Amino acid sequence: MEFISQELDDYVCNHTGNEPDLLYQLNRKTNIEILRPRMISGHFQGRVLSMFSKMIQPKRILEIGTYTGYSALSLAEGLTEGGKLTTIDVNEELEDIISEFIEKSESKSKIELIIGNAIEIIPTIKDEFDLVFIDADKQNYQKYYDLVFDQIKIGGYILADNVLWSGKVTEDYETTDKDTKKMIEFNKMIQNDNRVENVLFPIRDGLMLARKIKS
């Protein structure tokens, strides 16, 4: 589902700062060589993630769902001196391309890639996070949220992708598919969570930004 016309989308992208050359190369390689390239954050959303990160100035970022690494590289642009981004993905087939582009990045010393099951890995990470980006399997969004919540600093942020789910979140809950139900439940849960303040941005397929205000 397209939320705005192609003409207006082109205008928005043409009036958004250019993606760095390395991310352009990664975007192109993903679209040529990888199945389901639509999953990449891409130019516009990548610049949004970079801008959010630069505004927050995080010292520690956790990303759940790496895909080919575009969003990780975008978010890493806002890390403070000595900062670190840990990104987790279950798909070992993508490890080579992710590692290739991390190694080429100016942020390579700040990025840690972990291949494996995030539900098992997250409890082993003992850091506090300023920013968590969730962009993995939709069935487990609430589990990821619950797992990371206590590790997020007061004033820290959770950012979740695909929360509009191609517009299907407005469908009748009883008759829609299981992934859409999970996204409806996730959005409702955050809206009713008095530990956060939140804004749902209609950016690309929807970005939910939640700021932790109390434990």
Q: Per the confidence metrics, is the pTM higher than 0.85? A: yes
Residue 150 pLDDT more than 70? Answer: yes
Has residue 61 got a pLDDT over 70? yes
For residue 86, is it left (φ>0), alpha (ψ between -120 and 50) or beta? beta
Determine, yes or no, domain membership for 1. Answer: no
The answer to whether residue 189 is domain-embedded is yes
Say if 86 falls within a structural domain. Answer: yes
pLDDT recorded at residue 35: 83
The two tokens of residue 67 are: 């895909």
Q: Residues 76-80: what's their mean pLDDT?
A: 98
Name the residue range of residue 196's domain. 6-212
* All residues at 6 or more sequence positions from 83 whose CB lies less than 8 Å from its CB, including other chains: 58, 59, 60, 61, 110
* DSSP label at residue 74: H
Look up residue 149 and give its amino acid: F
Question: What are residue 129's DSSP bridge partners?
Answer: 152
Residue ranges of E strands in the chain: 60-64, 84-89, 111-115, 129-134, 152-161, 196-201, 207-212
For residue 165, tell me if it sits in a domain.
yes
Q: Is residue 161 part of a domain?
A: yes
- Structural domain total, the chain: 1
pLDDT digits (tens, 9 = 90+) for 81-138: 999 999 999 999 999 999 999 999 999 999 999 999 999 999 999 999 999 999 999 9
Q: Compute the distance between CA of residue 101 and CA of residue 105 in angstroms, rounded to an integer.
A: 6
pLDDT value of position 36: 87
Give the dihedral of Cα atoms 198, 201, 207, 213; nearest 10 deg. -10
Which CATH number is 124's domain given?
3.40.50.150
Q: Residue 69: is its pLDDT beyond 90?
A: yes
- Summarised one tens digit per residue, pLDDT across range 10-42 is 999 999 999 999 999 999 999 999 988 888 999
pLDDT, residue 167, reads 94
Contacts 24+ apart (CB under 8 A), 172-179: 178/139, 179/138, 179/139
Per-residue model confidence (pLDDT) at position 200: 98
User: What value does the mean pLDDT take over residues 140-162?
Assistant: 98
DSSP 36: -
One-letter amino acid for residue 131 of the chain: L
What's the pLDDT score for residue 1? 64
Each residue's pLDDT tens digit, 167-200 = 999 999 999 999 999 999 999 999 999 999 999 9
